[in-house]
Amino acid sequence: MEDRSKVLSLMSRGAALVVKRSKWEEFRALGMEPTYDYCEALGRASVVIDCTPDGSGLTNKREFYEKYADRVRCFLAQGSEFGFGKPFAFGINDTALASTDQFIQVVSCNTHNIAAILKTFAFEGLSSHLKEAKFLCMRRASDISDEKAFIPAPKVATHQEPWGTHHARDAVYLFRTLGHELDLFSSAVKTNSQYMHCIWFDISLDQNITIPDLHEKIQGNPRIAVTYKDMASLVFSFGRDHGKFGRILNQTVIVMQSLHVRKGNEIIGFSFTPQDGNSILTSIAATERILYPDSHEERMKPIESALFKEI
């Protein structure tokens, strides 16, 4: 009953409600009329975007998607569904995405953030100048709409070799699709907040760089937003008031006054992660490439016009 209003709102805008046949009458009793059975919908689909949490995408792949691989052109799973398929982030490894890639992992929101910063600061075209990079992901405990999972105090994550947490691991695999083997390590701490994730980064290059150089590189990336706000709540509020459906679709939001260059070649700073916004952008981009391979860039322009340069 609590989610019925969301379902009815989506249906009023043209969405079709899809449920398992065993639950059909239960949805009807709640005033929601299903349109398709789950398996029937899979058979009709051209692209499936799986947004379920906690490894459910991998389970769905084994139980359902592989059975429909001869009918559906592509399956995408959002988030940390490591092993689902080729990792992808819009604007990072587009050239690695092939028409034969039927299973694609849309990497997590924090991996988007890490990858965008690396691609902007440590690369010149296809050439990498990265020596090593470390990231601390300060994650919000729950979404603003969640009733559960909130915590009373910061909670640290454990490390696993060789990349620490999955954020660096997924970024390593993302850049592997471009032929690069990057030296990355990440740590994570969950904070008692419902606003936005925040990342501290420390990137060492094999060449010197200056703050004006960093500003120029940021200006050259249309998927990066900058801000002079230093609190997650202020950035989140801007997205709620001005973003598409209240969302920031950029890959990352860099706090400009936090940028610092140490010893000539070490870049340190903070950035905010736009949560599901960057994953939504990548999911749309992948779908457009699959359905419209000859016109996907033109079709992405309306959604890219919703990106911010400054927050």
Contact residues for 145 (Cβ-Cβ < 8 A; gap 6+): none
Same domain flag for 101 and 155: no
Residue 141 lies in a domain: yes
Look at the chain and report how many structural domains it folds into. Answer: 2
Same domain for 122 and 264, yes or no, is yes
**How high is the pLDDT of residue 305?**
93
pLDDT digits (tens, 9 = 90+) for 31-40: 999 999 999 9
Is 176 inside a domain boundary?
yes
Judge whether 310 lies within some domain. no
**36-83 confidence digits (pLDDT tens):** 999 999 999 999 999 987 778 999 999 999 999 999 999 999 887 889
Q: Are residues 257 and 144 in the same domain?
A: yes
Query: Does a structural domain hold residue 307?
Result: no
The whole domain housing 116 covers 109-278
Record the pTM: 0.94
Examine the domain organization and report whether 117 and 50 are in the same domain. no
Residues of the chain with confidence (pLDDT) below 50: none
At 246 the pLDDT is: 92
Residues 120 and 90 in one domain: no
- Residues 6 or more apart whose CB falls under 8 angstroms from that of 57 comprise 50, 77, 78, 79, 81, 84
pLDDT score recorded for residue 137 = 97
* CATH classification at residue 169: 3.30.360.10
Query: Can you give the pLDDT at residue 52?
Result: 85
Does residue 306 lie within any of the structural domains?
Answer: no
Task: Note whether 53 and 126 are same-domain residues.
Answer: no
Same domain? For 161 and 237 the reply is: yes
Is residue 296 one of the residues assigned to a domain? yes
**Length of the chain measured in residues:** 311
Residue 118 lies in a domain: yes
- Are 116 and 92 in the same domain? no
- 161 in any annotated domain: yes
pLDDT at 150: 82
User: Residues 272, 139: one domain?
Assistant: yes
Residue 244's CB is within 10 A of a number of other CB atoms, namely 15
Together in a domain, 271 and 296: no
From the list 104, 74, 69, the residue with the least C-alpha distance to 88 is 104
Are residues 127 and 231 located together in one domain of the fold? yes
By the 8 A CB rule, do 117 and 92 touch? Answer: no
Residues 164, 231 within the same domain: yes
